[in-house]
Amino acid sequence: MGDVLIVDDEPGLRGLLEVGLRREGHRITTAADGLAALAALTANPAIDVVLTDLRMDGLDGLGLLERVRAQHPDTMVLIMTAFAEWDTAVRAMRMGAHHFIRKPFDMVQVKAAVTRAIAAREHRLAARAAGEPAHPIHIVGSSPAIAAIQEVVERIAGTDSTVLVTGESGTGKELVARAVHYASLRSDGPLMRINSGALAPSLLESELFGHTKGAFTGAMDDRPGLFALADRGTLFLDEVGELAPETQIKLLRVLECGEYLPVGGREVRYANVRIVAATNRDLGTMVREGTFREDLYYRLAVIPIELPPLRERRDDIALLAGHLLARHAVRLRRGVGGFTPEALEAMRRHPWPGNIRELDNCIQRGVALTPSGDITSAALFSDLAGTRTPTPLPIVVTPPAPAWDADLKARLTRGEPIALEDELLRVERALVEQALETTRDNLTEAAHLLGISFRQIRYKVRQLGLR
């Protein structure tokens, strides 16, 4: 139980909230506006949670939030907002509000939100007293972009804001998700991960929401989903741009009110989970094209974090290479000292189309091929036969040589029939093969190059017999 300050200019709403929260054992103080709330906080600095409306005369909810964060940083602030004030609610979360409650609200949700906020505050104070590091995961890099990302992670540590991490494949989106989780007040809870594009929609929903016995063939028992398993923790939704429309609707419901139904179930369940989503696709463009729900996009992108590609942070390459070298040298038991100057320069000039994932593979190969001493450029950028592979240019997928195009047009000009479906299939196969070759059989990156979804390229690879 805790001390709760209710701030609202409507006496009836203040009274309703006061009665409901007192029944839970909380000690309640009320204020009719922001200035009165600040006076109450001065009189009782031990207040755990401020539950405030956004729209008030004088000092409004945002102004109060700013003052509380500056003067009472350990006090949690919950914002009450109408649906039409969504943009303002997002701004409040970015300013450091712990969570928001949408009007008209269910008292059960209000009670749960207050209880979670008090628990989060206690967790923060206990961690500080124990001398635990506030941010146990550091994102390697000294570039301004990485410093800005680390600052965002630290700034949102005390909130439950939904985070959307964007960037090219291989830039380290999962590492950012881990940093967000372990810097948050949910760090004692589980961190669960799922690739949204790797499963069929029906199977994905079962993984997310669980299912009941008999929900489908093979459902022999009730099974909890990731929202249940990640209770009081964080759920990392990777490749969220691949979500099917029906799954988008169900995820939106969870984000809006915390409710979900297991597959085949009839009993509504509540999720106490923070969402960190990631994608290498442009969700804004998908929204304009009608393939991604606009309301879900705004729910996910409360705190947007964009990871730059490795080619745009070349000053970080040496730091990253050293970090990866230390890890692989221990794992492979190699007495590798470092890199030759030529190897460092080659890494700095390389375009890294596969980003950090490609760098990681390159360092691992270099360590494996270097029993001792410094890793050379040849060890980093050579195949196992020792043949030097030239530094590639940035990925550009080009169609096959246009001979087939000229040949088909010539045949049509002569009046000779062609099998259009067969010719289209041949061209499609050539383009998919080229994309796979360019990305070294990485389906996600190949799909991105071809402008199709992960599920589409997986189907085409099977259809064309390429795997």
Residue 156, judged by CB atoms within 10 A of its CB (0-12, 13-18, 19+), counts as: buried
In terms of CATH architecture, what is 144-308? 3-Layer(aba) Sandwich (3.40)
Q: Which CATH architecture has domain 3-129?
A: 3-Layer(aba) Sandwich (3.40)
Pinpoint the residues of the chain covered by CATH 1.10.8.60.
311-380
Q: Which amino acid is at 314?
A: R
- Location of each CATH 1.10.10.60 domain in the chain: 403-463
Q: What is the pLDDT of residue 405?
A: 67
Q: What are the per-10-residue average pLDDT scores of the chain (467 residues)?
A: 92 93 94 94 93 90 92 91 71 83 83 87 77 64 87 83 93 92 86 88 89 78 90 93 92 88 87 93 92 92 92 90 88 85 92 92 90 89 51 43 64 79 80 84 80 77 75
Closest to 69 (Cα-Cα) out of 179, 129, 155, 162: 155
Looking at this protein, which amino acid is placed at residue 411? R
Q: What top-level class would CATH report for the domain 403-463?
A: mainly alpha
Cα–Cα distance measured from residue 414 to residue 430, given in angstroms and rounded to the nearest whole number: 26
- In CATH, the number for domain 311-380 is 1.10.8.60
pLDDT at position 467 is 67
Where along the chain do the CATH 3.40.50.300 domains lie? 144-308
Query: What's the pLDDT at 389?
Result: 45
How far is it, in rounded angstroms, from Cα 181 to Cα 171? 18
What is the phi-psi region of residue 239: left when phi exceeds 0, alpha when psi lies from -120 to 50, beta otherwise?
A: left
- Residue range(s) of every CATH 3.40.50.2300 domain in the chain: 3-129
Report how far residue 253's alpha carbon sits from residue 251's, in angstroms, rounded to the nearest whole number: 5
Check if the beta carbon of residue 352 is closer than 8 Å to that of residue 311.
yes
Q: By three-state DSSP, how is residue 258 classified?
A: coil
